Amino acid sequence: MAGKAKRLTRREYRRVVRSVKNAEQTTGMQFCVYLGPTGDDPRRHAEAMFENAGLHTRPAILLLVSPEARSVELVTSPEVRERVTDQTCAHAITEMTRFFARSDIAGGIVTGTQILQNAVGPAATKPSAEPFPDLIED
């Protein structure tokens, strides 16, 4: 990943949002992407965002990408952990960082979302009526 913040273009933004919405519709789980700064502790920042948004109480995945910190974090709710292993999360992060190394932030996020979507698999339920935003950029 680049050392500086990189904003997504409109086209990249739409591509990421489409990927997230597709993942939500397919899996019935809430997917959220955060792209931005995290301070000194990206993991703590991701967990706090997840908790503060109430995502821990429903089937949800938060994908945090912080180019400044050169960090990617995945936070999953207990219900998601039944369907997505730590090994799958590690694989998703590995594949995303291949894109990030080429400065393709959107491509990495889309790839990670698709890997997680495939791991979760289809579900009969729809995401919560009160969704967290699909993509947050700071």
Provide the residue ranges of all domains of the chain, joining segments of one domain with +.
Answer: 10-137
Between 131 and 37, the more confident residue is 37
Instruction: Report the percent of the chain where pLDDT is more than 70.
Output: 85
Domain 10-137 is found in CATH 3.40.640.10:
no
Could you give the dihedral angle defined by the CA atoms of residues 96, 92, 60 and 71, in that order, rounded to the nearest 10 degrees?
-50
Residue in 16, 14, 23, 17 with CA at minimum distance from that of residue 105: 16
pLDDT over 90 at 131, yes or no: no
pLDDT class of 3 with cuts at 50, 70, 90: very low
pLDDT over 60 at 5, yes or no: no
pLDDT at 68 (0 to 100)? 85
SS3 37: coil
Give the tokens for residue 35.
Answer: 């792209």
Residue range 97-124, pLDDT digits in tens: 999 999 999 999 999 999 999 999 887 5
DSSP 8-state assignment for residue 127: P
Residue in 75, 65, 79, 67 with CA at minimum distance from that of residue 110: 65
What pTM was computed for the model? 0.84
